[in-house]
């Protein structure tokens, strides 16, 4: 009888300890999940920001590849003139 009681007690204590370990593991995993979720939101916000920058840069590259921009740049910074044009300079 005493052997049965000690076996029951051992099984009960083992089950309680196992349950406590499971609860601890669950809490730890929930904390890790919350941290990962927060980090994911931060990274998604950063990705959106970087995508917006890339889009602006693509638009700028497309504009700077046009003949209109090249002609304006050459006129403004290299003092070049087009065909059949006369350059006037002040005194």
**φ, ψ at 83 (rounded to 5°):** -65, 145
Q: Is residue 89 part of a domain?
A: no
pLDDT tens digits, residue range 23-80? Answer: 999 999 999 999 999 999 999 999 999 999 999 999 999 999 998 998 888 888 887 7
Instruction: Dig out the tokens for 20 from the structure.
Output: 């406590």
Q: What is the pLDDT at residue 45?
A: 97
Q: Is 91 part of a structural domain of the chain?
A: no
Look at the chain and report how many structural domains it folds into: 1
pLDDT of residue 13: 96
Q: Residue 43 belongs to what domain range?
A: 2-78
pLDDT tens digits, 7-28:
999 999 999 999 999 999 999 9
The answer to whether residue 88 is domain-embedded is: no
Task: Tell me if the pTM is above 0.75.
Answer: no
User: How far is residue 12 from each of residues 3, 15, 46, measured CA to CA in Å?
Assistant: 14, 5, 51
- pLDDT of 91 reads 65
pLDDT in tens, 51-67: 999 999 999 999 999 98
């Amino acid at each position: 009888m005493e052997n049965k009681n000690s076996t029951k007690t051992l099984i009960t204590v083992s089950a309680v300890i196992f349950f406590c370990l499971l609860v601890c593991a669950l809490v730890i995993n929930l904390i890790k999940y919350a941290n990962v979720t927060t980090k994911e939101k931060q990274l998604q916000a950063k990705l959106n920001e970087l995508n917006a920058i890339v889009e602006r840069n693509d638009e700028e590259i497309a504009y700077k590849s046009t003949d209109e921009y090249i002609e304006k740049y050459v006129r403004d910074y290299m003092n070049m003139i087009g065909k059949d044009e006369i350059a006037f300079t002040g005194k």
